[in-house]
A = this chain, B = another copy of it.
Amino acid sequence: MEMTVNIKLNNKLFLRNPDESELGKKILQYSIILIHRIGFEAFTFKKLAAEIGTTEAGVYRYFENKHRLLLYLVDWYWSWQEYRLIYATNNISDPTEKLSIAIKLLSTSVEDDTSTSYIDEKLLFEIVIMEGAKSYLTRHVTEDNKHRLFKPYKDLCARIADIILECNPTYKYPRSLASSAIEMAHSHNFYVKHLPSLTDFNSLNTTHNVPDFIEDMVFSVIRIP
């Protein structure tokens, strides 16, 4: 059986829906490749257009600016992670096991998922680690938030907060803990790679790793040994 996952995103993210045309899909595909290669700061619509053989104006027909494109990619990523979490925890009743799965899914690098042809999930994972925070660290967070542009991230946080409450209904800070765990899953992957002295891991010694640390943290906090 062949099947594809189609992730629908808030239509305020784009001017023309990129997943409904060949050019649109190419914009998504090559923006991931190019941002991954040169970084979001150096990334421009002109360079992207040259990469895929269209013009700058052509890209502007799909996205207002590169920040909106980043938001699209980040939202896609969080929606995809939520889908993976639902899929991976299906039929599992033990909430601690669900939590453990969630932590592993979020903090472990992935292989390119073949279910979507034009999105390279491995590259996207690395982009979200490196550039993800820039999607909300702006002057217009509040406005973007009103337009529900952070909904996928919040939905995932809420889902994990629910699992935390299932584990321990008396824990006082489920949402804060959920968002912290998700952020740590990314930030510590960044630290391991770029600022290893901020962690207790190194790429050689694999006895300790990021998901182990986060699991230890989360389960300690909600008092599950």
Binding site for B on A (CB under 8 A): 38-39, 41-42, 130-131, 133-134, 136-139, 141-142, 145, 150, 154, 157-158, 172-177, 179-180, 183-184, 187-188, 190-191, 194-195, 197-201, 208, 213, 216-217, 220-221, 223
Contacts and interface: CB of A to CB of B under 8 A. Distances in A.
A72 to B, nearest CB: 18
Main secondary structure of the interface of A (DSSP, over half): helix
A174 to B, nearest CB: 7
B176 A201 contact: yes
A179 B208 contact: no
A111 to B, nearest CB: 25
Given A216-B221, A220-B220, A220-B221, A136 B194 contact: yes
A183 B133 CA distance: 13
Contact of A172 (B177, B179, B208): B208
Copies of this chain, complex-wide, total 2
Given A141-B195, A194-B142, A173 B208 contact: yes
Q: Which 6 interchain pairs have the tightest Cβ spacing?
A: A179-B198, A39-B139, A220-B221, A141-B194, A173-B200, A173-B213
Contacts of A39: 138-139
B139 A41 contact: yes
B195 A175 contact: no
Contacts of A199: 173, 175-176, 179
28 contacts: A39-B138, A41-B138, A42-B139, A133-B137, A137-B190, A141-B194, A142-B194, A145-B194, A145-B195, A154-B195, A157-B197, A172-B213, A172-B216, A173-B199, A173-B208, A173-B216, A173-B217, A174-B200, A175-B198, A175-B199, A175-B200, A176-B188, A176-B198, A176-B213, A179-B187, A217-B217, A217-B221, A221-B221
